[in-house]
Amino acid sequence: MKDLGVKPYVFPMPVALIATYNDDGTVDVMNMAWGGICEADKVALNLDGGHRTTENIRRRRAFTLSLPDVAHIAEADYFGIASANDVSDKFERTGLTAERSARVDAPVVREFPLTLECTLHEEQKVGNDVRFVGRIVNVLADERVLDDKGNVDPVKLDPVMYDTFQSGYYALGRKVGQAWDTGGKYN
């Protein structure tokens, strides 16, 4: 084994996009670098305090968290390249569309196949950064990504994964086992 030091090497890391409203009601979307599910009904977002999204979440006390599909990788990447602090029409430049969530004070980007609607549950100071813990109040899924039982089919979802090793994007691979069953041979 080679010692690599301290690195954020967890793979796969889903690409997740945080959507909020700016003060003037325009849509802000950013590509989240760090975060994920932290409880059955909660997500954690670890953000730099200087992001416009950080202030938007504080003011509105809500956000949506979407998983983009491979078809929208360019838009998802752009939301990580451009800062709303510098590019006021960042969302409009992508040509994506948004509608107001029926449950939280945040936008839902129509083109993204899976969206978690969240309210702000807790804010934590972490060094110079902020950790927002959001309560999931609902999940929206495009019907095209559902199986015949109404569950999300990961293959149909076609989510984008981020490679922390080489900063690449990857599509979901093949299914290799079934949770709580594949390891049953050791019982």
Along the 187 residues of the chain, how does pLDDT read in single tens digits? 999 899 888 888 899 999 999 999 999 999 998 899 999 999 999 999 999 999 999 999 999 999 999 999 999 999 999 999 999 999 999 999 999 999 999 999 999 999 999 999 999 999 889 999 999 999 999 999 999 999 999 999 999 999 989 999 999 888 888 898 999 989 8
**62 domain-assigned:** yes
Q: What is the pLDDT of residue 147?
A: 97
**152 domain-assigned:** yes
Give me 82's structure tokens.
């451009």
Give me 14's structure tokens.
């889903």
Q: How many domains does the chain have?
A: 1
**155 domain-assigned:** yes
Cα–Cα dist 183/187, whole Å: 8
Cα–Cα dist 94/110, whole Å: 13
Please report, for the domain that includes residue 69, its CATH number.
2.30.110.10
* 22: containing domain: 13-186
**154 domain-assigned:** yes
Q: What is the pLDDT of residue 7?
A: 86
Q: Cα dihedral angle (160, 48, 104, 15), rounded to 10 degrees?
A: 0
**42 domain-assigned:** yes
Which residue carries 């670098």 as its tokens? 33
**1 domain-assigned:** no
**182 domain-assigned:** yes
Give me 127's structure tokens.
């060094």
**23 domain-assigned:** yes
